Structure 1
Amino acid sequence: MKQGNLLIQVFLLAYCFGSVCVINAEDPYRFFTWTVTYGTRSPLGVPQQVILINGQFPGPPIEGVTNDNILVNLINKIDEPLLITWNGIKQRRMSWQDGVLGTSCPIQPNSNWTYHFQLKDQIGTYTYFASTSMHRASGAFGALNVNQRSVIFVPYHKPDGDFTLLVSDWYKMGHKALRKRLDSGRALPLPDGLLINGASKGLAFTGEHGKLSSLPTILLRLDSLVLYLCHASCFSTGKFYRFRISNVGISTSINFRIQGHMMTLVEVEGSHTLEEVYESLDVHVGQSLTVLVTLKAPVKDYFIVASTRFTKPVLTTSAILHYKGSKTRPSRPLPIGPTYHIHWSMKQARTIRLNLTANAARPNPQGAFHYGTIPISQTLVLANARTKINGKLRYTVNRVSYVNPTTPLKLADWYNIPGVFDFKTIKNIPTPGPSILGTSVLDFALHEYVEFVFQNNERSIQSWHIDGTNAYVVGYGTGTWNVAMRKRYNYVDAVSRHTFQVYPMSWTSVLASLDNKGMWNVRSQIWSRRYLGQELYVRVWNNERSLYTEAEPPLNALYCGKAKRPV
């Protein structure tokens, strides 16, 4: 099987009945070979060790189309076990490919493993990153964009160009130093700065491998980034461009804006949205969105700005939007964005609504699923807390601080291996009592319709993610959630997404159809909190062994702990 960035357009499957054969075309395959190594870069002007994929920081993008099969042969050349997770990709019937320690044994140093997953019935803007330890703080992240099939209508005209912007907070300390600090019982400080596509100041990028290409390119000039379309040298007046924006940081919400330009929001994590116009947009840790920007301002250069939210001091980085023919540098001051304004952010979040008339990955309208009329089978109230256990800092969910067992939960569940986890460790609502260490797993039947309430009783913002599914964000509110809050839910056009912010001393409610059988991670996207225990797993299960509901372990499955390769 040939490796590399190769697209095989069609595989043929033949089914014969007597003398009649039916030939079906399988969905396309895309093959990638990634080598993960250490390298030296200076994202904030100071040389430091980062994690590279194929020598790139950030890693190479995956550009796919709905229903493509993706095969990534990952070769681990760093000195620690590694996994990559595909943030927001649903892994239909394939939690084996999710790339977290609850489902997979890690890829050991100087070895490789091949992921195989399908972009099944998905569109939109996503990311990937290292899920193990604190590796994400040193790199090993990148873009994963799923484009619509040509036969499916997109609810806006084809843009004149397409850019992916990965915004991240960044520490001058590497992942090992950050991990050592957390292991010693100390919280992480404020990040040292912000990056856009892995750069802040003083570096110059051309295209892949230093050559110009047909893809968007970033060049740094003086103290700011300059964005170009390679084939056109720069942005042209009167045209409009699509910006895919993701927060790939580990701790900090950001606000994004473009000087002198409005942004039309069109997509959030796979959902087409009502085309509302914004001066600036909050993007919380782990979230992605897509905006359209029309260039109709006077011909000159303009600042693109990202700044932190809910931090003191506020960290800021900028890029330059360069009009074709411009000879005028952008003028300061930078466009002002919100800083701590919690109510402002919550009001903006409520304006993000599902476009009920748009197609999704299939021709049927997105709004055909009447999520607000389905009876709720269970309600989970998940409360995060900062605490100390055995004298060291830990983070908990409903009093339990998660600890990864040596045997992945999925392998233990599939092979009925005792002593790895049980369903009594964590309760589905907060209860009084001391905080404990444990392996938290909640049990659900396949196709249950579940209300997740994320209750934040702390004064810092939270960001939660659910693997394996999207959920409708039906409500945000301050204080403590109770059933009366359901009267305030949006039961008509709430946006469906995979990562949800929870404001300080507030709650966020989402509704999820658990129609994807497997073992799925529910985690804090704030990586120090996840590293110190703010996560759990949900097991979605029925007693039917069928390829229609769940695939069997892949032939190349890794085994560790109590799990032994079957003979």
Structure 2
Amino acid sequence: MKQSILPSVFLGILACWGVLPVTAEDRYQYFTWEITNGTIYPLGVPQQGILINGQFPGPTVEAITNDNILVNVINKLDEKFLITWSGIKQRRTSWQDGVLGTNCPIPPKSNWTYKFQVKDQIGTYTYFPSTKIHKAAGGFGGFNVAQRSVISIPYPAPDGEFTLLIGDWYKTNHKVLRRLLDAGRSLPYPDALLINGQKDAAVFTGEAGKTYKFRVSNVGMSTSFNFRIQGHLLKIIEVEGSHTIQESYDSLDVHVGQSVTVLVTLSGSISDYIIVASSRFTDPIVLTTTATLRYSGSNSKAQIPLPSGPATNDVEWSIKQARTIRLNLTANAARPNPQGSFHYGTIPVQRTLVLANSKAIINGKLRYAVNGISHINPNTPLKLADWFNIPGVFDLNTIKDVPSPQGTPAKLGTSVIGFTLHDFAEIIFQNNENYTQSWHMDGSSFYVVGYGNGLWIPDSRKTYNLVDGMTRHTVQVYPNSWSAILVSLDNKGMWNLRSAIWPQRYLGQELYLRVWNNEQSVYTETLLPPNALFCGKAKHLPKS
């Protein structure tokens, strides 16, 4: 929908505010990131990586609720590049989402500045490249949002914190991996798991008797992992922006794209202890990586054997654990009101989507599809096409709300589903494959209300948790199973809903949610950024 032109004086005021309606006390943080190729040694041999300011992984962003973030990304690669902010909701501005449906990619030897606010958010998040297979080479990092000092936290303040970025890794160059996918072939199995870009090398040091916050994220391409610390319990306190009921676990499963935050009390004798991450659902191959939890003053190496986790292919163990992770209804979130004040289980569902993934051969090449459509990104970002009412880029009838009839061949298309602002939706992710899926939604958190085996049917709703299901932005879907979410689509924009399993996403397993109403107000959606890049059919449009 083409937007009306506001008076020039008002536009000038908005420009001064960074096109964000914020209060005077909201802090601004400015970053300049140079994106370069460089030589890295995560597995002891040299390979090409993608660095941010010379770092692999990239720098961790440490923010406070309501901070305004400005990141000037200077692309010194030989390819176009974008960064997306996983789990950062970016209220009223999908312009800053950093995916091909909302942004023109940053050309080589040029720069672009992201501007957004972490409005009413706390928690553990990440950022990573959304273009091509760049994530397989680096360019990712942690993004932590702490609460304001005036908002209480539902646990004693920790004595320190650590950020752990754990994920699978390939020795093979990302351009070679991309050529394999482009040729219609599957990727080989990853070569290793890494913790903070290292295998069996990272060290985290704390003092005996003190308690530390561990922020753990799965930044991998396709592999779930189980995380544990020798001789120590993991007390879960937060998942992707929401406080949890504080249960203690020997180990935790973390699926691709997910983040969890735990408290660990250093209650043992002064020594070294092993941190372990091992791959899940990958039998007969099991990838394992370790790090060291070191007590200050330790002169003792960690004892063997390594702490064991669940059986690699024990799906039921993982499902049972997932059901025990529940929302803390009495805790404050990033605002003074309790998290549980939103009674999602009593809200009428206005629309149900059943999204089934599938593998297909289209034009002789491997593709992945959702409800029979394998998504292709047009040269014109969907958001620009929508804003300027450019025809021929997408329509709202390409993908249906339910799977195609069995036997219908999949086809290529640009998948956009239209919603009205504030619609309350039920979305079922139906996984008909023999491997674990992971689905991520930009722009909104959702309530995970159910997991189940086999095919979802309407009677499956009887098993939903309609009281204290976790809110998160990424949900796992177990093999030949379904996962159900409820979501209030209260963030206007064009938002990416994608497989977090990167090869599947690259080959078409994604779509977009157009959340729209006809109100033209900066209080529901910010204006086109003054620095917006134009490409495709929008390339020659005037920017005013």
Q: Smaller-chain TM-score range? A: over 0.9
Partners of 1:425 and 1:545 lie apart in 2 by: 27
Alignment partner of 1:177: what SS? helix
Partners of 2:109 and 2:471 lie apart in 1 by: 39
Determine which of 439, 444, 466 is the counterpart of 1:469: 444
Q: What's the TM-score once normalised by structure 2's chain length?
A: 0.94
CA shift at 1:24, angstroms? 5.8
Alignment partner of 2:386: what SS? helix
CA shift at 1:175, angstroms? 1.1
Amino acid at match of 1:439: T
Determine which of 233, 240, 249 is the counterpart of 1:278: 249
Is 2:197 the partner of 1:225?
no
Amino acid at match of 2:375: Y
Partners of 1:546 and 1:24 lie apart in 2 by: 18
> In the alignment, what sits opposite 1:40?
39
Partners of 1:29 and 1:239 lie apart in 2 by: 32
- Identify the structure with bigger relative contact order (alpha carbons < 8 Å, sequence gap 6+): 2
For residues 139-180 of structure 1, give each alpha carbon's deviation from its aligned partner in whole angstroms, at most 9, with x where no partner exists: 000000000000000001111111000001000012101001
Residue pairs, 1:411-422, within 5 angstroms: 411-422=384-395
CA shift at 1:554, angstroms? 0.3
Determine which of 382, 385, 395 is the counterpart of 2:368: 395
CA shift at 1:26, angstroms? 4.4
CA shift at 1:45, angstroms? 1.3
Residue pairs, 1:100-249, within 5 angstroms: 100-201=99-200, 224-228=201-205, 235-249=206-220
CA shift at 1:398, angstroms? 0.3
RMSD across aligned positions (CA)? 1.3
CA shift at 1:320, angstroms? 1.0
Residue pairs, 1:120-519, within 5 angstroms: 120-201=119-200, 224-228=201-205, 235-312=206-283, 313-338=285-310, 339-432=312-405, 433-519=408-494
Partners of 1:117 and 1:167 lie apart in 2 by: 26
> In the alignment, what sits opposite 1:82?
81
CA shift at 1:328, angstroms? 1.2
Amino acid at match of 1:188: L
Partners of 2:24 and 2:127 lie apart in 1 by: 28
Amino acid at match of 1:417: I
Alignment partner of 1:562: what SS? helix
Amino acid at match of 1:486: R
Gaps of 5+ in 2: 1-15
Gaps of 5+ in 1: 1-11, 14-22, 202-223, 229-234
**Structure 1 runs of 4+ off > 6 angstroms?**
none
Alignment partner of 2:38: what SS? strand
Partners of 2:215 and 2:236 lie apart in 1 by: 10
CA shift at 1:88, angstroms? 0.3
Residue pairs, 1:543-558, within 5 angstroms: 543-558=518-533
CA shift at 1:355, angstroms? 0.4
Alignment partner of 2:537: what SS? coil
Work out whether residues 196 and 202 of structure 2, in 8 Å CA contact, stay in contact via their aligned partners in 1: no
Amino acid at match of 1:330: A
Is 2:537 the partner of 1:565?
no
Amino acid at match of 1:272: H
For residues 451-506 of structure 1, give each alpha carbon's deviation from its aligned partner in whole angstroms, at most 9, with x where no partner exists: 01000011010000000000000000000001101111000000000000000000
Partners of 1:39 and 1:340 lie apart in 2 by: 37
CA shift at 1:391, angstroms? 1.1
CA shift at 1:324, angstroms? 2.0
Using the aligned pairs only, state the percent identity: 67
Amino acid at match of 1:31: Y
Partners of 1:328 and 1:468 lie apart in 2 by: 47
Partners of 1:518 and 1:533 lie apart in 2 by: 21
Alignment partner of 2:237: what SS? strand
Count of aligned residue pairs for this structure pair? 520
Amino acid at match of 1:248: V
**Compared with structure 1, are the counterparts of its residues 197 and 543 closer, same or farther at alpha carbon in structure 2 (3 Å cutoff)?**
same
Partners of 1:324 and 1:84 lie apart in 2 by: 37
Partners of 2:147 and 2:39 lie apart in 1 by: 37
